[in-house]
Amino acid sequence: MVLAIRGVVPAGSRLRTACARSRRLWWEPAGWLLRVSGMFMVVFLVGVAVWYLRTVIRAKVNVHVGSEGRARAPLGAQPFDRASLKRRALYELDKPTPDRVNKPPPVEDFPRVIHQLWKTDAIPEQFQEAVSSCRRLNPNWEYRLWTDAAIDKFIASKYPMFYDRFVSYKYPIQRVDVARYFILLHYGGVTIDIDLKCRVPLDDILRDKAGYDLVVPETDPAGVTVEFMAAKSRGQFLRRVAFDLNQAPPDYIFPYITIIFSTGPMYLTNKLVDYPKYDEIFVIPQQTYREKYFRNLHGGSWHRWDYILIKILYSVVSPFSLVLITCLVCAAVVCRRSQKTPKHVSIV
């Protein structure tokens, strides 16, 4: 309409002047209001996601992780102190008992294969130390490096019904997470991120875990992580994890949230929480995992901008903090707008 008026209505007319005034009074403030509303929605949605991480998932996992790392106790069991859980878990893991001494070596139940995934056969120099440490400490284990091309061929040939979803993922790390599940489902063994430095042999980690189908570590801020997994082939839990990927939403708007909830740690955590056979899964306590088993050298290469925001909100999240952050964002927009030189609308 404004373009039509500019071409038809003479310059300086009342209608032309009224349109220019209307633009200053209504359209520009409306655009500013939309931008502020959009920023508020971004902060609000991230805050909701952080609340979900802190409250819901942490409560679920705390209830399901037993004194030895065993997933146990359905929802509704008595809560317990997290610090005492970790101390008890460390004691139970290292305590020699008659039933453990008399058990046959259980590592044979897990295929002795180390799976690692990278884009090509050429592993970057910053990851060489981590990769070599795992191979050096496990000379009796077979080692397989899966490249992007090998993973694509594997999914296309062994699980063609899932291939279309596999190639449709927006972020490469989503395809890596999916590949972990299907590789362990098909072959079994151990998957280790190439930035994880091994501190002990895998035989020590998997000792006395013959009765479990899956071994995963606990992580912060909540749930379990997928950077290390040990599994038997054709396990029921991994079958559910892999084939339920088709039902999981592939996009959650924000990059980091999309990755962890569609294929990554929180997707696996939700499946663990809902799985009825708790005694098939062993969760390694985080303190044992970080201080005794592995050291992360160069982690977080797939983290995006929203990870930093979630990290900040996670430490201070509350209704007050969300309102404060929103006010600060809005104030910054207003200050930036007031510093701009006013544009005079030409009616010539």
Of 297, 138, 274, 142, nearest in space to 205 by CA: 138
Tokens 């520009």, residue?
Answer: 28
pLDDT band with cut points at 50, 70 and 90 for residue 85: very low
Average pLDDT of the chain is: 74
Whether 9 is in a domain gets the answer no
Helices within 195-304 (DSSP H only): 202-206, 236-243, 255-262, 265-274, 286-288
Q: How far is CA 17 from the centre of its chain?
A: 55
Whether 140 is in a domain gets the answer yes
SS3 for 80? coil
pTM of the model: 0.65
Cβ atoms of 299 and 173 within 8 Å: the answer is: no
pLDDT, tens digit (0-9, with 9 covering 90-100), for 267-311: 999 999 889 887 889 999 988 999 999 998 875 555 554 555 555
Q: Which of 141-145, 219-223, 228-232, 276-280 has the lowest mean pLDDT?
A: 219-223
Specify the pLDDT at position 239.
94
Task: Identify the domain containing residue 161 by its residue range.
Answer: 68-306
Whether 187 is in a domain gets the answer yes
Q: For residue 153, report the phi and psi dihedrals to the nearest 5 degrees.
A: -65, -40
Pick the more confident residue, 10 or 171. 171
Q: What is the mean pLDDT of residues 120-124?
A: 93
Specify the pLDDT at position 51.
60
Whether 294 is in a domain gets the answer yes
- Structural domains of the chain, count: 1
Which DSSP symbol is given to 330? H
Whether 37 is in a domain gets the answer no
Cβ atoms of 65 and 85 within 8 Å: the answer is: yes
Tokens found for residue 303? 């983290």
Whether 221 is in a domain gets the answer yes
Cβ atoms of 199 and 294 within 8 Å: the answer is: yes
Cβ atoms of 294 and 196 within 8 Å: the answer is: yes
Specify the pLDDT at position 4.
46
Specify the pLDDT at position 335.
53
Specify the pLDDT at position 313.
56
Cβ atoms of 112 and 189 within 8 Å: the answer is: yes
Pick the more confident residue, 191 or 223. 191
Cα–Cα distance measured from residue 28 to residue 16, given in angstroms and rounded to the nearest whole number: 17
Over 60: is that where the pLDDT of 223 sits? yes
Pick the more confident residue, 26 or 218. 218
Pick the more confident residue, 263 or 56. 263
Whether 85 is in a domain gets the answer yes
Cα–Cα distance measured from residue 250 to residue 286, given in angstroms and rounded to the nearest whole number: 28
Whether cis (ω within 30° of 0) applies to the bond prior to 221 is yes
* CATH number, residue 298: 3.90.550
> Within 10 A of 9 (CB to CB), how many other CB atoms are there?
15
Specify the pLDDT at position 219.
85
Cα–Cα distance measured from residue 293 to residue 290, given in angstroms and rounded to the nearest whole number: 6
**What are the distances in angstroms from CA 245 to CA 12, 241, 269, 275, 304?**
64, 7, 13, 15, 22
Specify the pLDDT at position 214.
95
pLDDT, tens digit (0-9, with 9 covering 90-100), for 242-253: 999 988 887 777
Specify the pLDDT at position 110.
92
Please, what is the Cα angle at 329 between 323 and 335, to 5 degrees? 130
Over 60: is that where the pLDDT of 164 sits? yes
Q: Residue 116 forms beta bridges with which residues?
A: 145
Determine what percent of the chain is predicted with pLDDT higher than 70: 54
Whether 268 is in a domain gets the answer yes
Of 112, 135, 283, 139, nearest in space to 209 by CA: 283
Interstrand relation of 196-198 and 228-231 (parallel, antiparallel or unpaired): unpaired
Q: Which of 35-44, 49-58, 201-210 has the lowest mean pLDDT?
A: 49-58
